[in-house]
Amino acid sequence: MTDPINYTIYIDGEEHNITITPVNQNIPGGDIYVTGVFRLTEGNVGMGDIIFDDNMNQWEYTGMGDFTHQSAAEIAGFIQAKNALSASF
């Protein structure tokens, strides 16, 4: 995943529209290095990052109380599924 994507999550009955922005780096030759870091925002409010290991299996959420572990896990699962889908093309 190299472009931002929107995700809607429901927490305590409230809809939250989250933008997931991959943090990638340009490397010489014009290629993109995928860092495994995904910045979460809701509108203009930063919600922390989800950071994956090299294999996109393990993750951690760096936000301070913005999401429960369950909510962060839902978003991490969405990111994993999107990356698996884009890797198959």
Question: Which pLDDT score, from 0 to 100, does residue 83 have?
Answer: 84
Question: Which pLDDT score, from 0 to 100, does residue 64 have?
Answer: 77
pTM: 0.87
Residue 87 pLDDT grade (very low, low, confident, very high; cuts 50, 70, 90)? low
Cα separation of 66 and 13, whole Å?
16
Tokens of 5: 């994507």
Residues paired with 52 in a beta bridge: 59
Q: Strand locations in 1-89, DSSP E?
A: 5-11, 14-27, 31-42, 45-52, 59-61
Tell me the pLDDT tens digit for each residue of 14-53. Answer: 999 999 999 988 888 888 888 899 999 999 999 999 999 9
Cα separation of 34 and 67, whole Å?
24
